[in-house]
Amino acid sequence: MDQKHPETGCWRRGPLAELATAAAALLVMIVAAGTANTFAAQACKPTPPDMEGPFYTPEAPLRESTGSGLVIRGRLLGTPDCKSLPGGRIEWWQADRQGRYDDAHRGSQIAGADGTYRFSTDFPGVYPGRPPHIHIKAFAPGHRPLTTQLYLRGGETEAAFDIVLVPVR
């Protein structure tokens, strides 16, 4: 049973919770030690979709920066084998530092030969009722388009965000 320390107010995990955590870690190691295909399948899960919201405008301009102070980088990949998707398009849009959406914080890029992308932007301001986030939409030939969001904790200067698309069937 978890317990709260009377002086610090911090939670301490009880012995059963610690045992469960250790058992889960052991299970993860056993599964990871299995075949390479099993590990690859687990590592290559599609990126979950998320809300597009009311501020998306198609065909954002190609650019490497929509501000400064925060660098977003990642790879555009496809299931089931996590191969890079060179030439795919990534679009992003976000609120400015004051929490307002504007065209200055919309951009897009074409993924490089190894599927990579990188852009700099401002840290998104507080948008009422939402944590700091950046909307991302990804497209690649032979794959379903994806709209998702990158959620930030606050204070980051760099974030890595791989985007995994699902093939069209």
Q: What is the pLDDT of residues 59-109, one digit of tens each?
A: 999 999 999 999 999 999 999 999 999 999 999 999 999 999 999 999 999
pLDDT at 8: 43
Q: What is the pLDDT of residues 21-72, one digit of tens each?
A: 444 443 334 333 443 333 344 579 999 999 999 999 999 999 999 999 999 9
Determine the Cα–Cα distance for residues 54 and 38; give it in Å rounded to an integer.
Answer: 39
Domains of the chain are: 3-33 (no CATH), 65-165 (2.60.130.10)
Determine the Cα–Cα distance for residues 85 and 143; give it in Å rounded to an integer.
Answer: 9
Among the listed residues 131, 128, 123, the one whose alpha carbon sits nearest the alpha carbon of residue 156: 123
| pTM, 2 dp | 0.74
C-alpha distances out from residue 65 to 51, 61, 75, 94, Å: 23, 11, 17, 13
Determine the Cα–Cα distance for residues 80 and 42; give it in Å rounded to an integer.
Answer: 10
pLDDT at 126: 86
